[in-house]
């Protein structure tokens, strides 16, 4: 479970991160990230899993997998980091590749200096 202080809950934060953030694309996941002034004490993350991924049970399973993988990475993230993880339709078909794609996207964003 992702701690409450790390959850992105505001629709304006989602929109701003997707529109103004840096994007890293992989076959099953898209990672949007941006650093905002450190008015928050923690990094926050939000997840977008559309109906194109599958029915509710499938979407929730995909979200749980993504949430679990991201939770371990947030401890080292800087204050003011906002991340939106968007699962693409192929996410449910290959769950192992989904997590590998998330790891690759996170590492790519970190190498570019967008995430630590």
pLDDT band at residue 40, thresholds of 50, 70 and 90?
Answer: low
Residue-wise pLDDT tens digits, 72-113: 888 778 888 899 999 999 999 998 899 999 999 999 988 887
Residue-wise pLDDT tens digits, 41-51: 688 999 999 99
CATH number of the domain at 4-104, please? 3.30.230.10
Read out DSSP for 11-23? HHHHHHHHHHSEE
pLDDT band at residue 5, thresholds of 50, 70 and 90?
Answer: confident
Tokens 């979200």 belong to 63
Q: What is the pTM of this model?
A: 0.91
Tokens of 26: 């992989």
Across 27-48, average pLDDT: 87
Which residues fall within 8 angstroms of residue 81, CB to CB, at 6 or more apart? 33, 34, 35, 43, 44, 115, 116
């Amino acid at each position: 479970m992702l701690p409450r202080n790390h959850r992105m809950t505001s629709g304006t934060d989602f929109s701003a991160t997707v529109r103004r953030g840096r994007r890293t694309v992989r076959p099953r996941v898209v990672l949007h990230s941006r650093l905002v002034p450190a008015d928050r004490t923690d990094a926050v993350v939000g997840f977008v899993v559309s109906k194109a991924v599958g029915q509710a049970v499938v979407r929730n399973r995909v979200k749980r997998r993504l949430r679990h993988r991201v939770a371990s990475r947030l401890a080292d993230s800087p204050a003011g980091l906002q991340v939106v993880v968007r699962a693409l339709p192929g996410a449910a078909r290959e769950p192992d590749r989904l997590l590998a794609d998330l790891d690759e996207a996170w590492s790519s964003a970190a190498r570019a200096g967008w995430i630590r």
